[in-house]
Amino acid sequence: MVDGETLKVLFVCSMNQWRSPTAEKIYADKPSVVARSAGTNKGARQSVRSKDLLWADLVLVMEQKHKQKLMAAFPGEMKFKTLHVLDIPDDYQYMDPELVEGIRSTVDPLLENFRNDGP
């Protein structure tokens, strides 16, 4: 990743209702990041699509089960994709202060490392 380049991050949870939209909102105003969010379950507000995964430089999932679903449903798209499991349980509402803090404390170092070290 070249300095000054915009990093495209896809946040994924189950229903794209609380956790991943919160993460997208947190990083919406960060100039070096373009964020999107999606869900893995049927009926998600915005379901993960192949083009979302192809677009993303970095995929950040809330739980291990989301990684497993992406790997099973999109093996080709995920083959060389950088993905991290954030280990954030489905215990929060949208923009819950504890959720915001948990996302920031987990994601900020990942973004910094990705920028410095690359995928």
Domain count within the chain: 1
pLDDT at 1: 46
Domain range spanning residue 46? Answer: 7-117
* Residue at 79 is within a domain: yes
* Residue at 2 is within a domain: no
* Residue at 88 is within a domain: yes
pTM: 0.94
pLDDT in tens, 61-77: 999 999 999 999 999 99
| CATH number, position 84 | 3.40.50.2300
* Residue at 1 is within a domain: no
pLDDT at 2: 47
Longest Cα–Cα distance of the chain, Å, equals 38
First CA to last CA across the chain, in angstroms? 8
CA dist 87 → 8, 29, 35, 77, 99 (Å):
20, 24, 19, 22, 12
* Residue at 48 is within a domain: yes
d(CA 57, CA 9): 6
pLDDT in tens, 14-57: 999 999 999 999 999 998 999 999 999 999 999 999 999 999 99
* Residue at 53 is within a domain: yes
Report the side by side order of strands in the sheet with 7-13.
Answer: 33-39, 7-13, 58-61, 82-85
d(CA 70, CA 75): 7
* Residue at 17 is within a domain: yes
